[in-house]
Structure 1
């Protein structure tokens, strides 16, 4: 079965490959600003759906399984997507250090005009890192590419002191949620494995 990941995220691609899938990557190229929501869980799900639908429409292959995802961090009543620049990433980290936020990841799967959408949430506890550590981390460029300005599977992993929930959600694609969604489409997860 042709599996298509509607995301440029290397972490999502790596997670799927490690789980036995070999997806084709098709970046949606959608304008994320067209979705406006003050609810982070709904925003993540709506963005995942938008990306999934855009790629599915472009492919015009009803046999393909298209997977769309998007993540946002809810922190102290604000929604953090990717930071605009290094200055914003530094400011976020200075606020987040020693505190906790909730990472919401939306998931959408489509095949043959059938679609299912779900979101998953995981609490992330950030380490109380120094200004020098923040500056060094932001200088790597990693925080500029990801929601909330952090990763758990890269340089930023040392600055996350714990999570409550599925760690795959923090990476940007929850394998348990995805398994349930493809099951709703009538596809067995193990049939997606490339062995």
Structure 2
């Protein structure tokens, strides 16, 4: 049986990671640092793919605090989700991917989250590592270099702000949203 562990092919992953555009190196480092903390086994803490559409906004320390609490429209959701795979390819060179999210309803059965149930795809896709060995390689051999290149980047603040943006801009039932939140509110 062939060994496909990334640690047995470090040259391949080094070439993959070094093929990102030099102008995107710092953003690529931030993306990997946001996805490597190990709280959910080997999956990123921020799972919802739409949250990654705000990665470039993390350069603004006021994001998302100063933005009004307003649900994304279906067209905004679609536009953001169209951008995420391109951004992941550009910044992670294929080590991170966007895939449909499944939820377990009964043991052994998975149900894919769908637009038909919710009327939108806000929660339909997730971001994950292509393979656990890709995450292990990044953490074990590249994380220190990445942290050195972006010493002022606060990983946990970035994770928190992406999760807050996901909450602030999530679609909701209009009447319930306005009644509970008092209309447009700054959180």
TM-score of the superposed pair, with normalisation by structure 1: 0.25
Structure whose residues are more often strand by fraction: 1
TM-score of the superposed pair, with normalisation by structure 2: 0.26
Greater relative CO, 1 or 2 (CA 8 Å, sep 6+):
2
Larger Rg: 2
